[in-house]
Amino acid sequence: MTLRWRVASIHLIALAVGSIEAWIRMDMDWLRQRLAPDFVHVSPFGRLEGRDAYLATVEPMARKSVMELTIRDVIAAGDQAAVWFGNRTPRGVVESCDWVRVDGNRITEIRSFYDSAMVREVLSPGEQQRLDGSY
């Protein structure tokens, strides 16, 4: 097996970190400009396709469940980066990792890894039901 090392650009790291920082500021304009129109998000809640569907679904949930995001580390290679961060919710800190894929100047995909239990606790039963399986 041959491993090929790829060097990540500063631009990739800036986009990956910028996506977390945009959620810290609740900056939907930044996200609209940098997420590809056909953006895909996969998380413990399911899969969302399309930038507009993602923002319409996740923004109200984030406004209830994200009190503070703290970036802990970033690794990147080629067109992909992983951002490890803590998400302080009203129920405690949820350690999280976003695997970010970039094409040119746009984020095309984020796969989020975290335990959703504390996030679910701050959502209403109706909000939780809308998120099950495929958001």
Domains of the chain: 10-122 (3.10.450.50)
Closest CA to 85 of 104, 105, 106, 67: 67
Whose structure tokens read 């609740």?
Answer: 26
Half-sphere CA count of 50, side-chain side, radius 13 A: 6
**Quick one: tokens of 134?**
């495929």
Q: How many residues does the chain have?
A: 135
Select from 87, 80, 102, 6 the least CA-distant residue to 44. Answer: 87
User: Cα angle vertex 99, ends 98, 104, to 5°?
Assistant: 120
pLDDT of residue 117: 86
User: What percent of the chain is modeled with pLDDT above 90?
Assistant: 68
**Position with higher pLDDT, 133 vs 28:** 28
